Amino acid sequence: MPELPEVEVSRLGISPHLAQQTLIKVIARQRQLRWWIPDEVVAAAEQPILSVSRRAKYLLIELPTGCIILHLGMSGHLKVVPAKQLPEKHDHLDFVLSSGQCLRLNDTRRFGAVLWQAKDTVHPLLAALGPEPLTDAFGAATLLNACAKRSAAIKLVLMDNKVVVGVGNIYANEALFKAGIAPQAPANQVSADKLTLLATVVKETLAAAIVQGGTTLRDFSQVDGKPGYFKQELLVYGRATLPCVVCGTALQEIRLGQRSTVFCPKCQPH
C-alpha cells in the first residue's frame, strides 16, 4: 500500500493540473471500490477546484460545496490524461477538467476509496487522526506522551494513526533502524533520548522519500508514470538475512502486527 511519501508525491504530481481548473463532471464507470462511491461525488460538477491537499494517506480535492476524499488503497494510482482518451481496464473514475484533461483513477484490486466530506464537516475517517509527521504538531513531546504508559512494541505505537499519521511499515522499519531502537521494544521502556531522536529521524526519513519521488512499490508509480527512486536507499526493509549496511550483521525478520519487521540485532539491541 502506498505510504505517506507516495501519496504526497501523487499530490505534488496532480496539483499543477488541477490548479485554477473547474471540475466539469465526474464519470464513474465502477462505483464499488472499497466502499460505494457516494452520490455527492458523482454529482459534483461545474465547481472550481479550490485546493488539493493531503491528510495522512488521503488526498483531498476541495470544492465550494465540500471535499472529495481519495485513498489509493493497495493498487490505486492517478494519472492525468486527455479527457477524450479511451479508458483502459480498471480505469474506474474520471474527474473531467475545464482544461480538456481529466484526472483518472485506476485501481486494479478496487481497495481504494472515493468519499465525500460535506462543507464544514469532518469525515469520520479523518476525525480521529493524529498529527502530521512533517509539521510542528509532531515532535519529541508527542512521542514521549504517547509512549509513557504503553507497553506495546514501539513500532506498533509509531504506526498508530492516533499518535502520528502516515508512518507506515516501510518507513517505520527505516526510522527505527536509524534511531537504533529495536522495533519490538516496549514503548514505555525506550529512553527519552531515543524517542527524541526517533521523532527527528521520522521527519527526515519521510522528507527524503518525498524529495526522491517515493518508494517504488509493485503497484505504485508517480502520476507521470515514472517510478519512485527511494527504494535503492532502503537500509533494512526488504533486506532480511542480508548484511547490515553499518555493521555487517545479518538482518533479522519478525512479524509485528502481522507486518514484516526487519532489523539489525546489533545496531538495534533489545
**Closest to 214 in 3D by CA, of 5, 57, 2, 11:** 5
- 17 annotated as a binding-site residue: no
Q: Please state, in angstroms and as integers, the Cα–Cα distance from residue 187 to each residue in 72, 102, 150, 269, following that order.
A: 30, 46, 6, 14
- 31 annotated as a binding-site residue: no
Sheet (strand 58-63) strand order: 51-55, 58-63, 66-71, 113-118
Catalytic one of 31, 34, 259, 266: 259
Residue showing cell 509485528: 256
| Cα 192 from chain centroid (whole Å) | 27
186 is catalytic: no
Helix, strand or coil, per DSSP, at residue 102 = strand
Residue showing cell 483513477: 105
**Closest to 214 in 3D by CA, of 163, 168, 260, 160:** 168
266 is catalytic: no
40 is catalytic: no
Residue showing cell 496532480: 14
Catalytic one of 11, 55, 57, 178: 57
31 is catalytic: no
Inter-residue contact 101 to 81 (CB < 8 Å): yes
Catalytic one of 3, 6, 8, 174: 3
- 110 annotated as a binding-site residue: no
Query: Which residues make Cβ contacts (< 8 Å) with residue 78, sequence separation at least 6?
Result: 10, 13, 14, 59, 70, 72, 103, 104, 105, 106, 223
Residue list, annotated binding site = 90, 109, 150
Residue list, annotated binding site for DNA = 90, 109, 150
Catalytic residues: 2-3, 57, 259
